[in-house]
Amino acid sequence: MKICLNLIPVLLLVPIAANADIVIGGDGSRCSEDSACINRIHPDIPMAASAKPGERITMQGRDAGDMHLDPDEYAEAESSPRDGFGVVHPLVGPVHIEGAQAGDVLAVTIEAIKPGPVGWTSASAFGFAGDRVGSEDRFILWRLNEQYAESDAIPGVRIPNASFPGVVMTLPNATQLADILDREKRLADAGGAIFGPDPSLAEPASLCGEEGTKSAECLRTIPPREHGGNLDIRYLQTGVTIYLPCNIDGCGLAIGDFHYAQGDGEVSGTAIEMDADITVTTRIVSERPNLAHGPHYEGSAAMLAIPSQRFYATTGFPLKEAGKVPRDLAYLASTKIADLPNLSKDLSLAAANALAAMIDHIVSRYGYDRTQAYIIASVAVDLRIAQLVDVPNVGVTAILPLDIFTAR
C-alpha cells in the first residue's frame, strides 16, 4: 500500500515506566512545547531536571524527526513528512547530576527501554553509499511491539526488538565548544561534509533559535563528539553502562534518538526510529577511564550477537572503477584518486562495496527492489571490519541475519 501524505500528527508517546524516581520529558505534542526537550548542544542550555546518583531517571523521548504518525494512514511515501531537518534530534534533558563536578566521569546504566507503537525508516541522500547501490528516496512506517517490527512497505520481513538510544551525551564546556566550532568550520571550508550551526527549528529557541542569543554557537546533534552524542552504536541496549566525561559541573546528561533496531552502519541514514521511554541510573566513577578519544561502554557479550540462528555475508575491498572518485573523497580534490582502480586501506570504499554486494543479493534472492533492500540493510545488516593489515586491500564484511525473512 502506498498513499501520498495527508497526515494529521498523532501523539504516540509510551506509558511512563514504573518505579522511576524522576520522570522528565513528554509534555506537549512537539519538542518546542516541552521544557525538557532540546535539539542543539551548548553549555549554556539550562538544566531541565536534577537527579542524585543512583536515582532511577525515566526520560520520555520523541523520535528523531519529532513525528507522531499512524501506520494505518499510510505505509510509505517518497520523502519524510517532518517539518524540516532542523528538528533533528529531539533529546530529553539536560539533567544535572548532583555532586558531579567538571573532570569527573559519569557512568550511565540503561535499566529499561520501552518502545512506542510506531517506527519509521527513510532512505535518502543522507545515507551511506546510496548512489553506489542505486537507491531512491523513500520513507516507510513500521508497527512495533515488544518482540518485533513489521512494515506493510516491506512484506515478509520481521525485525526483532533490539532497542537502544542513538544519542547519549553530556554537555561540552565553553573551551571544548570553541574548539569543536573551529575544527568543523575548517573542515567545511575545505569542502568536507559537516552540519554547522543552524537556528531553524532549534530548541531551546531562546538560546539557539533564529532570535536566540547564541544561535551561531549551538552545535547540531548529527555527529558524535568527545562528549558523546549521536553514537548510533546498536550495542547500547538494556543492561549496558556508558562512561561519559563530565565537562561542566552537573554533567548535563541528555538522551534521545531512540532506535527499535539498527544494523551496524545505519546505511540508509536512519534505523527504525521511534518514540520511547528509557530508564537509566547514574554513578560518579572513582577510577576514571581516559575518555579523550570518546566514550567507553561495557555490558553482556550477548549484545554483540546478530539476532538470528543463521546468516549470509558478503565482502568488500577498496576497489573502484578507474576514472571515478568516491563521493566521500571528492572534497580532497586529489589528482591521484580518479585514475587509481585500487585505493590503499580505504575502509569506506571497502564498506560501500560490501554493501553493494549485499544489496544485489537481497534483490536477487528475495525479490525486493533496491530501495527496500537498502532499508533492510540499514535496520538489520551489520558492516564489520574483517581486517586492517592486508594492504592495500583492507576488508569489510556485510552480515545479513536470515531469520528476519518470515517466508523462509
Determine the angle formed by the axes of helices 347-366 and 370-380, rounding to 10 degrees: 120
Q: Give tens-digit pLDDT for 228-250.
A: 999 999 999 999 999 999 999 99
The whole-number average pLDDT for the span 88-107 is 98
pLDDT grade, residue 18 (50/70/90)? low
Q: Give tens-digit pLDDT for 337-394.
A: 999 999 999 999 999 999 999 999 999 999 999 999 999 999 999 999 999 999 999 9
pLDDT grade, residue 14 (50/70/90)? very low
The whole-number average pLDDT for the span 180-187 is 97
Q: Which pLDDT score, from 0 to 100, does residue 17 have?
A: 52
Q: Which pLDDT score, from 0 to 100, does residue 33 have?
A: 97
Which range has the worst mean pLDDT, 35-39, 73-77, 191-195, 200-204? 73-77
pLDDT grade, residue 83 (50/70/90)? confident
Q: Which pLDDT score, from 0 to 100, does residue 408 have?
A: 60
Which range has the worst mean pLDDT, 297-301, 325-329, 337-341? 325-329
Q: Which pLDDT score, from 0 to 100, does residue 70 have?
A: 86
- Average pLDDT of the chain, as a whole number: 93
pLDDT at 94 over 50: yes
pLDDT at 13 over 70: no
Q: Give tens-digit pLDDT for 104-127.
A: 999 999 999 999 999 999 999 889
Q: Which pLDDT score, from 0 to 100, does residue 362 have?
A: 98
Q: What number of other Cβ atoms are within 10 A of residue 182's Cβ?
A: 10
Cβ distance 362 to 402 under 8 Å?
A: no
Provide, rounded to the nearest whole percent, the portion of the chain with pLDDT above 70.
95
pTM, 2 dp: 0.94
pLDDT at 194 over 80: yes
* Residue of 111 and 20 predicted with greater confidence: 111
Q: Which pLDDT score, from 0 to 100, does residue 192 have?
A: 94
pLDDT at 6 over 80: no
pLDDT at 16 over 80: no
pLDDT at 5 over 70: no
Q: Which pLDDT score, from 0 to 100, does residue 3 have?
A: 39
Domains located in the chain, CATH noted: 22-299 (2.60.120.580), 311-404 (3.10.28.20)
pLDDT at 264 over 60: yes
pLDDT at 203 over 60: yes
